[in-house]
Amino acid sequence: MQVRPIGPDRHDVVVLAVSGELDYATEQALGEAVTNAMGDHCRRLVLECAGVTFCDSQGLNRFLQLRLDLERRNIGLVLTGISTSLRAVLDLTGAIEVFVLTETVEDALRAS
């Protein structure tokens, strides 16, 4: 799994592209990458997930925990460009209802 920043630097929004397999062996790296990328002024985290090729229950749990952690800090989380495999997991578990989803990063940046 890879996590990398995309787009220009923004003061209060962090945009990261997530790709590869998100599972037991890699989910912790997502949490670490998010922690490392976020500054004190971040108000929204956008995760571009088009490149996620696989997501198991551990990967899903990481997304859910990340959402809760950010919510406690009054930071919004937007998942964008959801891959087919990730959408299947979110749909199957009903977790899709708890996330803000957009089609593109640009849509996520325009969302309030």
Render each residue's pLDDT in the chain as its tens digit; 112 residues.
999 999 877 878 999 999 999 999 999 999 999 998 887 788 999 999 999 999 999 999 999 999 999 999 999 999 999 999 999 999 999 999 999 999 999 999 887 5
Distance between CA atoms of residues 101 and 49, nearest Å? 10
Classify burial at 64, counting beta carbons within 10 Å of its beta carbon; exposed 0-12, middle 13-18, buried 19 or more. middle
Structure tokens at 16: 């990261």
Dihedrals phi, psi of 35, to nearest 5 degrees: -60, -45
Task: Specify the CATH architecture of the domain 2-107.
Answer: 2-Layer Sandwich (3.30)
Query: CA dihedral defined by 68, 30, 111, 12, rounded to 10 degrees?
Result: 90
Dihedrals phi, psi of 106, to nearest 5 degrees: -60, -40
pTM above 0.85, yes or no: yes
